[in-house]
Structure 1
Amino acid sequence: MDLNTVVEIRDGRHPAPWRPGDAWLGGGTYLFSEPQPHLRRLVDLSRTGWTPVRRGPDGSLEIAATCTIAQLSRYARGLGAPAAPLFEQCCRAFLASFKIWNMATVGGNLCNALPAGPMTSLTAALDGECLLLAQDGGRRRVRVADFVTGAGRKDLAEGELLRSVTLPARALSCRTAFRQASLYGLGRSGVLVVGALDPLDGSLAVTLTASTVRPVRLWFPLAPTAGRLRAAIEGAVADGEWFDDIHGLPRWRRHMTFRYAEEIRRELEGGPR
């Protein structure tokens, strides 16, 4: 879609004062998908040269905001970590064409803050942390589970930039389980639940996305009973936080979330597959 209110595209490599009507341009799959009448200038990040995915000396994984879904998928195939299958599962949850895979970015998916955003699911489940850069040069870090605060809402100040997401080495060593539901075969996720079992201490994290307006990450020091898991979900998700749109009614999303969370609890409790 043409954005006929945009009068300038600025190279993101060269700092300049932020002004009303500016927007960061990564892959552009959202920006060019619908009218954006409030925009006047795009700040292009495509030539920043950020390494898409980089393994840190401590074993952590830094994913640049400009990393495309295709690049992340290719990298994960050779990752060699127990949590590696989760990357492809979440990439496939896009149910998008190869054209979207080669343009859509991890950062864009996070900053759109849609409940069904699968990069939110992936990075929240693996306890990811966002690096945010302010216009004045300041930096701050926010957990992905806290970065997305609601449907279309995120903890991002005016002009602030999501630079990268870092996944800790310990999370990559977790054994994971994945469940997803849509109302139809090629539909947007209505429910997406991920479990991550830490092999070091036996703790379990269960992360809910798509069915809720924000990511909900529940952590248990030991694998919970079915009753404790259900009670934790009920306590963490208020009645008004079950998402409601054409891709699923709140009652159905809630039911499937409880069902999948229990399936995941049993799968990971049962030991290696």
Structure 2
Amino acid sequence: MTRTVYLNGQYLPEDEAKVSIFDRGFLFADGVYEVTSVLDGKLIDFDGHATRLARSLGELEMGNPISKEDLLEVHRELVRRNDIGDGLIYLQITRGAADRDFAYPAEDTPQTIVLFTQSKPGLAENPMATTGMKVISIEDQRWGRRDIKTVQLLYPSMGKMMAKAAGAHDAWMVEDGKITEGTSNNAYIVKNGKIITRNLGTEILHGITRAAVLRFAREAQMEVEERAFTLDEAKAADEAFITSASSFVMPVVEIDGAPVGDGKVGRVAPRLREIYLDESRKAAV
């Protein structure tokens, strides 16, 4: 079945959707994006993603070409047209197409907005949730405004390939001796029952799943500390895990070839995953 996508107000077959070669997202990575999970045909954490989208656009002094209400309708229509049970909806907004110039184009330049779906049956039943994932550490060489969810993802892609070459699943990035985050996820450790994760700032993405998981953890009377932690702390932790919109909560059992704790999935990550999926499904739209 040909996938239906959304481009600048139109629903089109994917092979008919075209974006200009002069689009600034292509020429300058001058754009932002969001990824929203779909479970049982409903959207997970949509409000959070819409709010972060507006923030990212504002930080780049870029307009928002679609209202939150219309954006929700587009998401729902793409789920319907593509018969998505479990999967993802990718959204990208750029500053639009204009003759190549480092300076921003005129404010009335039409922006580009693209949405498409990815069907992923059994998204919440990933077997890695029971076996755990392996990560390596790499130097964080990204630009300084990681709190803005831009489309400039080359270094995270490189990090994924470094991990793959090392026989691991992902890479945790390190800056000034402290872990920032994974290539496409927020990073956590657990020590003596306490959940530790990097505090918010320009150094990391303000994860929507991160915010929900920490709220659920506190509601479950789990101790949470938001601060930077070192690579050595991570390697000496009792447990480790990541959160993201597509992985939800995923345990980490190995860092740089060394086991985390006893090298097996612990108790905190599975419990948080269970809570997150249960509560998110209840609140899904």
Specify the TM-score bucket, using the shorter chain as the normaliser.
Answer: under 0.3
Give the TM-score, by structure 2 length. Answer: 0.26
- Structure with the higher fraction of residues in strand conformation: 2
Q: Could you tell me the TM-score, scaled by structure 1's length? A: 0.27
Give the structure, 1 or 2, with the largest relative contact order (CA under 8 Å, sep 6 or more).
2
